[in-house]
Amino acid sequence: MEIRMWDRLDDRLWPEARQLYLDAFPEGKPVRIIENTFAKGVGLLFVALQDGETAAMALAGPLRQLNALLIDYIAVRPEHRRLGVGTALVEEIARYARSKGMDGLILEAEAGPEPENAERVRFWERCGFTLTPYVHQYIWVPEPYRAMYLTFDPARPLPTEGQELFKHIGGYHSFVFRR
C-alpha cells in the first residue's frame, strides 16, 4: 500500500477520492466547500492506494491556534475495511503532522446512539485518540458530535475539554465555508 498527501486537489487522484468521499458522506460538506478549503490553502488530501486503486482517503486541515491537525473526513472503501488500511492512513497523517512540528490530531466523531458511531469511536481509540465527554450540537447539522484528540508529546498537551476543541473546529469550518 502506498499513501500520498497533497495540499492541492490533484487531477489524477482527486476524482476517485472525491467519489469515495461522496459515497461515504452523501450528506457531508458540499464538494465546492472542500475545493474552497484547498483554494484557501488549508486543505490536505491523503490517499491510500492499493494496487493502483484508491482504497481510502482523508481530508484534513491545520488548526493553527492549537498547533494541531484536524482530520475532517476519512473514508475507506468497504472491501478494504478491517485490513489495516484506515489505521495506516491515520498513522501517515500523524507522521505528517509530527514532521510539521504539530502537537497532535483532533477530530469530531458522531455522538448519536447508533452502533456504527460506537464502532467508529472504538476505531479512533485504537488509534490512540481520547474521546471528550462534551456533546456538541451544530445548528446546521442534525447529528451531535464529540471531539477526540491525540497529543503527541505530554509536555505539549492539546486541550482536553470538548468545548475548547469545538471552538477551534468551528473556527476552521467557519473559515472554509466563507466565500
* 10-36: average pLDDT: 91
Alpha-carbon dihedral of residues 130, 76, 46, 144, nearest 10 degrees? -40
Using pLDDT thresholds of 50, 70 and 90, give the confidence band for residue 133: very high
How far apart CA 27 and CA 168 sit, in angstroms, is 22
Using pLDDT thresholds of 50, 70 and 90, give the confidence band for residue 13: confident
How far apart CA 44 and CA 140 sit, in angstroms, is 24
**Which range of residues forms the domain containing residue 148?**
2-177
pLDDT at 10: 78
59: cell is 481530508
* 14-32: average pLDDT: 93
Using pLDDT thresholds of 50, 70 and 90, give the confidence band for residue 153: very high
* Residue type (1 letter), 167: K
SS3 of 78-129: HHHCCCCHHHHHHHHHHHHHHHCCCCEEEEEEECCCCHHHHHHHHHHHHCCC
DSSP state of 8: S
Tell the burial category of 167 from Cβ atoms under 10 Å away from its Cβ (0-12, 13-18, 19+).
Answer: middle
* 156-164: average pLDDT: 97
How far apart CA 153 and CA 128 sit, in angstroms, is 13
For residue 138, pLDDT beyond 90: no
* 123-152: average pLDDT: 94
pLDDT at 12: 84
Total Cβ atoms within 10 A of residue 75: 22
What are 50's strand-pairing partners? 53
Task: Give the predicted TM-score (pTM) of the model.
Answer: 0.94
Decide if 90 contacts 83 (C-beta within 8 A): no
CATH of the domain at 45: 3.40.630.30
pLDDT at 11: 82
pLDDT at 67: 97
How far apart CA 62 and CA 116 sit, in angstroms, is 27
For residue 179, pLDDT beyond 80: no
Model confidence pLDDT, tens digit, residues 37-58? 999 999 999 999 998 899 999 9
Model confidence pLDDT, tens digit, residues 65-123? 999 999 999 999 999 999 999 999 999 999 999 999 999 999 999 998 999 999 999 99
Domain count for the chain: 1
pLDDT at 76: 97
